[in-house]
A and B are shown apart, each in its own frame.
Chain A
């Protein structure tokens, strides 16, 4: 398949760009494109054409994804396919007419058509095998250097487009080892397997085995039986102990009962005395003695009381009049209060009378006096009594105040009439007030109306602001643009400053220089970093490996030395030397000088020497035999020491190799940096530098974008300035075209705002005018309504005035004054009547007290008190009455005490008689003549009764203690030996204590057995533990599968590499050898295979035929070798598959001109069989191609503007 045309319809920076690759005779197609012309974009476009657009791409350059279009014309010798690709999910491929540039989406093309032309190669294979850039070339060269000259790997990588074969294989191995290693502990699968084992142990311990459970059940039953036996024994022993204890306790009581019965029999027959005869006799004696004493005391006290009664006199008249005296004495305070109240009331009455007279005078002064109501009343001005104001005539005698008040009350109008008058008065006053307010408002509204009309007439007609507003709008837009321009300039300046800072931080001379810099790729740096990290890890591993031998060696050596000191036997070397000497003497040798010790001059063995040698060898062997164990241990230690020394030496050797490798790596790295013009730094720093460089490039792009936007904004602003002039009223006359837009806009706004303000003022005045007119009308309406209401109320007013004896046309003020006078007069009349009534009542109370005091004096026969003396008299009577009462009470108390003494004396006499009678009865019952004999008989009776009670109580106790078995137990107790019973009880108690301890132990055992059985309660712990085991197995299974997958993949890879080598080695190595010689301009003759141990390696043959391992090639030569291998693979492939274009992107940029010329010639030759398109941004390569290739074997195209230059 060949490309004839590539149509970059809408892709990246391209719009309708066409790249013609159809020079029919050309062997090599060179496409020149300086930096930023889209060379890499064009390469990506080829991928998009053949295989579709990736889901995300940065090549849309602001277009919608669906607008992306790449077309092309393909030819495979038999078929020509013109097609166009769009970005999408379905039917993205359709026909396209390359001549007219017209696409036909309605005519879809199946992807299979392209696949068939490509021979089944997919995107990945195409990009890896049939497209190669300078970075891939360098990576391939490095991979060859790293591959250790492995022939199979080199061929596989070159032919397969794979340049990380070794890393892939190592990665698979490392990943597998991270999962599992046979003797390790930390890899995940090792951990998982150990965990499974641990969980299995836990699961085994979690359950209760049936056999264990049965054993627990049996243990529970056995402990129950043992407990039962102990409890039975305990019961029997306790019963026997109880019986023995009872007999022991009964024995003394039975003996005691027998003694009591004997004592009773000894007292003889009983006398018929009452049981309490002793108590009766003693009580009667004591009672009689007490009664005699009390009678004597009472008689003495009675005499003293009668004497005291005669010495206590009493006043009977006072006691008879005690009620009236007490009543009057109790009213003394009331009398004093009544007198004071009377004085106050008389003063109040005088004041009320004066007020009454002043009221009548006010009534008279406020209008014509009503003579028919108040005839003969002398009307006085307030405050002057008995003398009319202004009168010179002597005053007539004043009428009593009571008559005056009665007549005034009769003259006053009814309260209802006054209330009605007040209501009418309030209504009239309200109407009058509203009328006055309405008249004032009407006057103000009329004035406002006149003012508004004048202002309206004075206002000018406003201007129309719409045109001006439109102009302002346009100006506003221009202002926004001007602001954008200003902001864009500021951002651009900021971006420039930031770029400068970034460039300075990167150490570059300038931003532009840094942007042009051919820097190492990030993957290259990361690879170097990874290699260094790997070496550092290896170094750390080595150190860790050295630690063991280093620590063990001194210990082992010390042990060996210690053991050696204790070993007296000669060493193995001594034994072997002795044996050698012996064997040497046993072997005959030819005579001659130097035949050695133990031989004579003829070379014969000296028997003595031989015997000595034999003896010495045997002695050493015996010594070693006797010390064999120590020697074995010494030898083992020696082996261990040697092993540790060997390990140490290995580590040291490996460390040296590692350090050498590191130094080489660092040297190569330094040279790479120098090639790129970068200062020395480690890969980590370089990676950071590259990331910073990336950021600088991004910032540069952003700065360019800002500049583009600023230019666009400026152009837009210019267009708006033109429109601005046209938009202003009057064609913008008077507006300077270069005036700052802000000032222009301010002036325009002021004008528009002034116009708008005039119109608003006019509207406001018109609105005020209307409002004022409406107010005038409303006020007039109110006035008319008030007049109507006044006319309606006039009849009621006149009727009221007549009722109040006022003229019909009386005004509201006069009416209100009249009402006030009436009110004052009414109050004065009421006050005088109230004080007059109260004064009369007080006077009556004072007079009543005097009358009653005088009546009391007459009753007591005392002189009658005069007026004013009544209170003192009553007080003296009250004192005398109290004295009489005290004497009377004392006499009463003496009488009661004398009666009590008389009663006491009589009672004592009765008790003496009763005691004498009781003693006589007891003597008669006992049959004794006197009291002493009675006393002796009573004592015998009491002794008998006490014995009888003790005997009965003991019998009852025994019956209660023995119950039904009373007789038998009593009999047994009577016969029992207390000492024997005590001994038996002690023995039983000890046995019971032992039984109880045994029972407690049995109870504990049974509880334990029960708990053990209850522990198996159906819980699912064991099932959960088994679940945990299964979960661990699942984890281990997953890890095992993952490990197996990695191992199988690696094994598969090894097999594939071997098989590919076997199959392709011959043709591929031959072609590669030729290409290698060509692209190295003959400085390398070719390639040949060789063996390094079991590994087949690739050797490069120098110009003189001397082979060199691939690992020793320079970087440039390694790159050339990789190119040779890849071109050889393409060439060999042509024998088995259809041609597929080879796209090369500046792969010769590091070649010198000689090599590049030869390589270009080779590519031109290959291009006749398989299309080769070489993209370059180096003009000198274009010139070189023109120089070294005939015009017929090269076609040169160009991307973007500008011709290629030499």
Chain B
């Protein structure tokens, strides 16, 4: 008997988008409530496709968020599925393992939560499907949960639901680490994985192992389409899946190069083209764009001398290109002077600036000390969110500091050669 189901994870419901600075003309309303809108679209998809069931592989709630309205909204969406007779199989991940919202919330009857003390199995009679999973008992789970999953149910389509960092994702902490071999060894047909926010098919078949990614990108590092996996199961065939984007806001990181551009007008034309392309690739969604201006060319000085104006101009261009539906998250200026301009004579005093900056860039500890001395007034005043995490300004991060030093160097050279702003 053929059927379809939806595999999704990492909803992080009601966690706000990071890094978006409010400015006149920014599409404020379009970007607020993006994680909610993504969930609504997911439910719409389930109803439209009349799926057999929905699997959520963890992190419905963002653990740090404690508003009960979040849970009530989730319940309202689950009830839409309940009215259509669609069951939901939910596994709690590291973020919502101890979520107060999750604990306090009485879920609708169609939502089945995997137990946390041991792995459990839910059976669907028709089509015959067995879903195996275990919720995170706590935020940190160092052991391999998959190893303790039950054997497959004979004659049923077996789905393993796991929130895991697997073994090879250094970017993530080891949450319920396991290996592909362990997953293969369970004898299931499909592994619905969660926790990693980028979609990846780890194994195409026997079993099919898929990270579906998160439902909605929340900051500039989570770019591109986001959504769920729509899985189709045909008798006698391995399951087939395809990603379906349900994100309400599309994050993009655009590189705008000045290489080979002779003047500002040419640069503006290039920017307009790139921004229009970016908007087209967003499928008409509101966009949150990070713009990085880089490259080496004569425009470096022009850009360095009017960073604020460039920022305002880029926002305006983005507004035009997207019909007012794009929010410029950040503009990074990382251009360099052409090589001859940077090759100053060794006796030139300005060369001292370059030499000193090069020395600092090559020695992180020295750079750290230099920055501490220069920035000591501000560092204690910065809130924690600006010192660490996705919104960090990087004043304590060697790599970000090195980039900032280069910007300072460009600014200084420009001022020295043209005078104060």
Contact = CB atoms under 8 A, between A and B. Distances in A.
Interface of A: 55, 89, 112, 115, 119-122, 124-125, 128-129, 155-156, 159-160, 162, 164-165, 167-168, 170-172, 175, 180-182, 189, 193, 196-197, 206-214, 1016-1024, 1026-1038, 1040-1041, 1043-1053, 1055-1057, 1059-1060, 1063-1064, 1129, 1132-1133, 1135-1137
For the complex of A and B, list the 9 residue pairs with the smallest distance between their C-beta atoms, beginning with the closest: A207-B67, A171-B420, A1034-B21, A210-B104, A1048-B408, A160-B349, A1018-B72, A1018-B73, A120-B343
Nearest to A214: B104
Nearest to B65: A1026
A1200 B283 CA distance: 66
A1023 B67 contact: yes
Residue in A121, A189, A1020 whose Cβ sees the most chain B Cβ within 10 Å? A1020
B216 to A, nearest CB: 12
B202 interface: no
B169 interface: no
Given A208-B67, A1034-B20, A1060 B346 contact: no
Given A1048-B404, A1048-B408, A168 B374 contact: no
A369 to B, nearest CB: 109
B420 A167 contact: yes
B371 A1048 contact: yes
Interface string B403-421: 0110111011001111111
A1036 B384 CA distance: 12
A1024 B33 contact: yes
Given A1026-B16, A1030-B19, A1049-B408, A1037 B386 contact: yes
Contact of B352 (A182, A1045, A1060): A1060
Given A115-B340, A164-B419, A180-B378, A1064 B347 contact: yes
Nearest to B352: A1056
A1023 B378 contact: no
B419 A167 contact: yes
Given A210-B104, A1023-B33, A1056-B352, A182 B381 contact: yes
A712 B350 CA distance: 53
A119 B352 CA distance: 17
A124 B352 contact: no
26 contacts: A121-B344, A172-B415, A207-B68, A209-B68, A210-B68, A1017-B69, A1021-B69, A1023-B70, A1027-B17, A1034-B19, A1034-B21, A1036-B382, A1038-B21, A1038-B330, A1041-B393, A1046-B408, A1048-B371, A1048-B405, A1049-B411, A1049-B412, A1051-B373, A1052-B405, A1056-B349, A1056-B350, A1056-B356, A1132-B347
Main secondary structure of the interface of B (DSSP, over half): helix
A1 B395 CA distance: 45
Contact of B16 (A208, A1023, A1035, A1132): A1023
B345 A168 contact: no
A1049 B67 contact: no
B140 interface: no
A172 B419 CA distance: 11
Given A1033-B383, A1048-B404, A1056 B36 contact: no
B374 A1048 contact: yes
Nearest to B21: A1034
A1031 B21 contact: yes
Residue in A155, A189, A197, A1033 whose Cβ sees the most chain B Cβ within 10 Å? A1033
A171 B411 CA distance: 12
A167 B352 CA distance: 19
A1020 B32 contact: yes
B386 A1033 contact: yes
Contact of A125 (B17, B344, B420): B344
A1084 B17 CA distance: 68
Contacts of A155: 349
B66 A207 contact: yes
Interface residues of B, number: 81
A208 B15 CA distance: 15
A115 B342 CA distance: 12
Contacts of B70: 1022-1023
Nearest to B354: A1056
A1055 B329 CA distance: 34
B381 A193 contact: yes
B383 A193 contact: yes
Residue in A89, A119, A1060 whose Cβ sees the most chain B Cβ within 10 Å? A1060
Contacts of B352: 1055-1057, 1059-1060, 1063
Contact of B22 (A214, A1020, A1031, A1050): A1031
Interface string B65-86: 1111111110110000000000
A1032 B18 CA distance: 10
B348 interface: yes
Contacts of A1034: 18-22, 329-330, 391
Given A180-B377, A1020-B32, A1023-B36, A208 B345 contact: no
Contact of A1020 (B69, B71, B420): B69
Contacts of A162: 349-350, 416-417
A1046 to B, nearest CB: 7
Given A159-B349, A1027-B17, A1064-B347, A1018 B69 contact: yes
A168 B20 contact: no
B20 A1030 contact: yes
A164 B420 contact: yes
A171 B415 contact: yes
Nearest to B382: A1040
Contacts of B22: 1028, 1031-1032, 1034-1035
